[in-house]
Amino acid sequence: MENILKYYQFSAFKKDESGIFSGNEISYSILNDTHFLIFEKEKEIFNLYVTRYTFKKDIGINKPEIIETLVNNYDKSKPEHRIILKQYFQ
Protein backbone atom coordinates (compact mmCIF):
# COMPACT_ATOMS: atom_id res chain seq x y z
CA MET A 1 0.00 0.00 0.00
CA GLU A 2 2.92 2.31 0.69
CA ASN A 3 3.89 2.28 -3.00
CA ILE A 4 0.36 3.28 -4.06
CA LEU A 5 0.33 6.18 -1.61
CA LYS A 6 3.72 7.43 -2.83
CA TYR A 7 2.90 6.97 -6.52
CA TYR A 8 -0.30 9.01 -6.29
CA GLN A 9 1.27 11.55 -3.92
CA PHE A 10 -0.99 10.98 -0.94
CA SER A 11 -0.18 12.96 2.18
CA ALA A 12 1.13 11.47 5.38
CA PHE A 13 -1.60 9.93 7.53
CA LYS A 14 -3.17 12.11 10.20
CA LYS A 15 -5.97 11.54 12.70
CA ASP A 16 -9.43 12.58 11.52
CA GLU A 17 -10.98 15.14 13.85
CA SER A 18 -14.09 15.82 11.76
CA GLY A 19 -15.99 12.72 12.89
CA ILE A 20 -16.64 11.70 9.28
CA PHE A 21 -13.94 9.03 9.35
CA SER A 22 -14.65 7.88 12.93
CA GLY A 23 -11.38 9.30 14.23
CA ASN A 24 -9.37 6.93 12.03
CA GLU A 25 -6.23 8.07 10.26
CA ILE A 26 -6.64 9.60 6.80
CA SER A 27 -4.37 10.46 3.89
CA TYR A 28 -5.35 12.63 0.92
CA SER A 29 -4.30 13.38 -2.63
CA ILE A 30 -5.27 16.55 -4.48
CA LEU A 31 -7.34 16.22 -7.67
CA ASN A 32 -7.97 19.96 -8.08
CA ASP A 33 -8.58 22.99 -5.86
CA THR A 34 -11.68 21.53 -4.23
CA HIS A 35 -11.68 17.77 -4.90
CA PHE A 36 -9.58 15.22 -3.06
CA LEU A 37 -9.18 11.47 -2.82
CA ILE A 38 -8.96 10.22 0.74
CA PHE A 39 -7.77 6.90 2.05
CA GLU A 40 -9.14 6.08 5.47
CA LYS A 41 -7.03 3.62 7.43
CA GLU A 42 -9.20 1.52 9.72
CA LYS A 43 -6.82 -0.91 11.44
CA GLU A 44 -5.50 -2.91 8.45
CA ILE A 45 -8.30 -1.91 6.07
CA PHE A 46 -8.11 1.03 3.65
CA ASN A 47 -11.28 2.68 2.35
CA LEU A 48 -11.15 5.10 -0.59
CA TYR A 49 -13.36 8.18 -0.96
CA VAL A 50 -13.68 11.13 -3.28
CA THR A 51 -14.51 14.36 -1.45
CA ARG A 52 -15.09 18.04 -1.98
CA TYR A 53 -13.81 20.66 0.44
CA THR A 54 -13.73 24.42 -0.01
CA PHE A 55 -10.18 24.51 1.38
CA LYS A 56 -7.49 21.84 1.65
CA LYS A 57 -6.89 22.86 5.28
CA ASP A 58 -10.42 21.62 6.13
CA ILE A 59 -9.52 17.97 5.43
CA GLY A 60 -9.73 15.97 8.63
CA ILE A 61 -11.02 18.96 10.59
CA ASN A 62 -14.38 19.85 9.03
CA LYS A 63 -16.99 17.75 7.26
CA PRO A 64 -16.64 17.63 3.46
CA GLU A 65 -19.26 19.31 1.28
CA ILE A 66 -19.53 16.05 -0.69
CA ILE A 67 -18.24 12.57 0.06
CA GLU A 68 -18.62 9.41 -2.01
CA THR A 69 -17.27 5.99 -1.15
CA LEU A 70 -15.31 4.57 -4.06
CA VAL A 71 -13.90 1.37 -2.55
CA ASN A 72 -14.40 -0.36 0.78
CA ASN A 73 -11.44 -2.51 1.81
CA TYR A 74 -9.12 -1.39 -1.00
CA ASP A 75 -6.96 -4.26 -2.27
CA LYS A 76 -4.14 -3.31 -4.63
CA SER A 77 -4.11 -6.86 -6.03
CA LYS A 78 -7.62 -6.39 -7.46
CA PRO A 79 -7.54 -4.80 -10.92
CA GLU A 80 -10.97 -3.22 -10.45
CA HIS A 81 -9.71 -1.37 -7.35
CA ARG A 82 -6.60 -0.12 -9.16
CA ILE A 83 -8.72 1.05 -12.11
CA ILE A 84 -11.03 3.05 -9.85
CA LEU A 85 -8.07 4.85 -8.30
CA LYS A 86 -6.26 5.37 -11.61
CA GLN A 87 -9.26 6.90 -13.39
CA TYR A 88 -9.18 9.93 -11.10
CA PHE A 89 -5.64 10.80 -12.15
CA GLN A 90 -6.11 10.72 -15.92
pTM: 0.94
Q: In what order do the strands lie in the sheet with 35-42?
A: 14-15, 25-30, 35-42, 45-52, 66-71
pLDDT at 68 (0 to 100): 98
Tens of pLDDT, residue by residue over 72-81, are 999 999 999 9
The number of angstroms, rounded, from the C-alpha of 3 to the middle of its chain's C-alpha atoms is: 15
Distance CA 39, CA 37 (A): 7
Select from 33, 48, 52 the least CA-distant residue to 85.
Answer: 48
In a structure prediction context, what are the per-residue pLDDT tens digits for the chain, which is 90 residues long?
Answer: 999 999 999 999 999 999 999 999 999 999 999 999 999 999 999 999 999 999 999 999 999 999 999 999 999 999 999 999 999 988
